[in-house]
Every structure is written in C-alpha cells, then in structure tokens.
C-alpha cells in the first residue's frame, strides 16, 4: 500500500487520530562525470583531478545525499565551507543537480558515489571507493559521517512479511552499523557522527511498527557508539525528523494539502517541516558549537503530537 493511500485510509478519514510522521532518509555537473575508480556506477565530482584541499577544510560523508533531506544537508554544509562526499542509489541526474547546486553556493566542492544500503555486502567495496575519493582531494581521513539513507515501510504487525523485516533491517540498521564500523579508522579524532531516526519512536501510529522499531534500534546504537568513541573525542548523536515536505513516501506530505493541513493542526508550530528546517540542523550539530553534545536524540518535528 502506498504511503498516500495509507494516510487516507488510516488517518485522514478520522480527525480523532494523529497523522504519522515519516522520517526523512533518502534513500540514491552539467560538465561530464569523471571516473575516479572502477565501480558499478560513475563517480561525479565538481572538482578536478588536481584538486587538493587545504588541511583546514573539513570533509563530510552523507549517505543518501542526492535528494530530500540529504540534499539539503549537502547544501547546508557547503555553505559552511565543508567538502561533501555523498551517495546516491539510482538517480544520477539528481546527484548531478546536487553537485551543481553545491558548486553554485561557492563551497569547496562535492562528489557523488554510488551506494545501495539495501545490500550491506557491498559496503567493503564502497569503502574502497570512498578512500580513493578522499585520496583524490588530498585527504587520508574525514571529519563528519551522516547516516541518512533509507526508505519508509508501511504495514501493520499482521501484514509485515519476513522479507520486509530483512530489507528494512539491512537498510536502517545493518548498513549503518557496518559502514560506520568500516570507516572508523578513517574518521579523524574529534570528528562527528550523526544518525537519523524518526518522530515515530516517540509516538506510535498504526502501520509503522517495523520502521519505527528499526529506528529505535538506531537510537540505542547511537548511545553505545557515543560511549565507545568518546575516548577519541568523536561525538555521536541521532536526529529524529518529523513530517517533512519532500519526495519521501511518494511526496504525500509535500504534495497533498489535506495531509499537510492535518499534520500542521497536530504540530505546535502549526505546519509541516521543510527540508531547510532539517538540513541546517544537521549542519549545526556537526559544528564546533555542539562539541559537548554526544549520545543524544534530538527531535526535529516542530512539536508534532505533543
């Protein structure tokens, strides 16, 4: 069942039930794309083969950065002078557009790599490509890891199949765990890791039992990772967006006025979130201003379903 139909069936038919909140996790140069390494998908970059970043330039990796909240985080970091390497799954055109927009902001540059987080067995090969990409800009390590990529899942306890559990587990937990684990030797001491959860771990809406359960696991994982990595000065936090007007879930929140209005009526600030509300928050948590924040869940929902 589509997210739009699910909302209509279970929530919009009655004004006594609150609307669910999908967390935003995505999901995959007008100049020609440039091959850096031999991978299954082309690697695109706004920089040249001779680009060498200064030692002071921070580097971020964002999974699922070609669209939605990931894209907005790419742009927010570019504004702060961060070089961003982001992943996409299938939409090369969207990845190129993100690179061009980041370039127009005047940041130090960006680069896109293919990654399918539904296939955790590909993580090792991705890490090799990522290390090669770092080398191409004169870096051995990086500073910020943002685990953002993902998909939604809508189904009740009775409807959810075994293969659904495996798929959502791989995307939202196993790939996050393995990617972070494999990249630990390459994250600078004093770096930042930000994971992505959802408002649905705080409030329960029918049909999101599997999705929210995996995100609850990520919240627990975040606290443990913060404890283990604190000795290196690495902070680990998790941000939990509420309902945001992007293409997530088929664009239901973004494109359907009655859905937006209903969610807005259930939100303290009176509206659904916009991508810019979230991207700026991710960039802020990665900054030195939040160096004393670790092991925390921060909800970005405008006060939804208080």
- Convert the pLDDT of each residue in 107-156 to its tens digit: 899 999 999 999 999 999 999 999 999 999 999 999 999 999 998 888 99
- Contact between residue 207 and residue 158 where contact means Cβ atoms under 8 Å apart: no
Locate 25 and state its tokens.
């996790």
| pLDDT band, very low/low/confident/very high, at 19 (cuts 50, 70, 90) | very low
Distance, in Å, from the CA atom of 43 to the CA atom of 25, rounded to the nearest integer, reads 21
Within a domain: 77: yes
Task: Give pLDDT, residue 152.
Answer: 86
Task: Give pLDDT, residue 187.
Answer: 98
Query: Per-residue pLDDT averaged across 182-196, rounded?
Result: 98
Phi-psi region of 21 (alpha: psi -120 to 50; beta: other; left: phi over 0): beta
| pLDDT band, very low/low/confident/very high, at 177 (cuts 50, 70, 90) | very high
Distance, in Å, from the CA atom of 70 to the CA atom of 149, rounded to the nearest integer, reads 8
Q: Which of these, 146, 117, 150, 156, lies nearest to 20 by C-alpha position?
A: 156
Within a domain: 42: yes
Alpha-carbon separation of residue 226 from 13, 24, 45, 212, 302 (angstroms):
42, 22, 32, 21, 26
pTM of the model: 0.84
Residue 127 domain boundaries: 3-15+23-300
Within a domain: 305: no
In tens, the pLDDT along 213-247 reads: 999 999 999 999 999 999 999 999 999 998 876 66
Within a domain: 306: no
| pLDDT band, very low/low/confident/very high, at 33 (cuts 50, 70, 90) | very low
- The CA-based angle 141-85-165, given to 5 degrees, is 100
Q: What is the CATH number of the domain that holds 115?
A: 3.40.50.720
Within a domain: 47: yes
């Amino acid at each position: 069942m589509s997210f739009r139909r699910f909302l209509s069936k279970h929530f919009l038919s009655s004004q006594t039930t609150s609307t669910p909140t999908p967390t935003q996790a995505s999901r995959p140069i007008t100049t020609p794309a440039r091959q850096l390494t031999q991978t299954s998908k082309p690697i695109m970059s706004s920089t040249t083969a001779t680009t060498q970043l200064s030692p002071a330039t921070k580097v971020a990796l964002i999974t699922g950065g070609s669209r939605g909240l990931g894209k907005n985080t790419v742009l927010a970091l570019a504004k702060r002078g961060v070089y961003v390497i982001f992943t996409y799954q299938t939409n090369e055109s969207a990845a190129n557009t993100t690179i061009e927009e980041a370039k127009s902001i005047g940041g130090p540059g960006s680069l896109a790599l293919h990654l399918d987080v539904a296939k955790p067995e590909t993580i090792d090969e991705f890490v090799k490509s990522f290390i090669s990409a770092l080398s191409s800009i004169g870096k051995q390590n990086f500073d910020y890891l943002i685990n953002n990529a993902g998909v939604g899942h809508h189904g009740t306890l009775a409807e959810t199949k075994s293969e659904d559990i495996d798929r959502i587990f791989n995307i939202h937990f196993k790939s996050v765990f393995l990617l972070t684990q494999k990249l630990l030797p390459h994250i600078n001491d004093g770096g930042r890791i930000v994971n992505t959860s959802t408002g649905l771990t705080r409030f329960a809406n029918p049909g999101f039992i599997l999705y929210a359960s995996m995100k609850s696991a990520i919240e627990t994982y975040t606290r443990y990772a913060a404890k283990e990595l604190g000795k290196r000065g690495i902070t680990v936090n998790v941000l939990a967006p509420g309902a945001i007007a992007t293409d997530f879930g088929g664009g239901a929140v973004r494109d359907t006025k009655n859905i937006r209005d209903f969610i807005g009526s259930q939100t303290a600030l009176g509206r659904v979130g916009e991508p810019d509300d979230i991207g700026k928050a991710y960039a802020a948590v990665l900054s030195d201003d939040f160096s004393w924040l670790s092991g925390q869940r921060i909800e970005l929902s405008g006060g939804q379903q208080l």
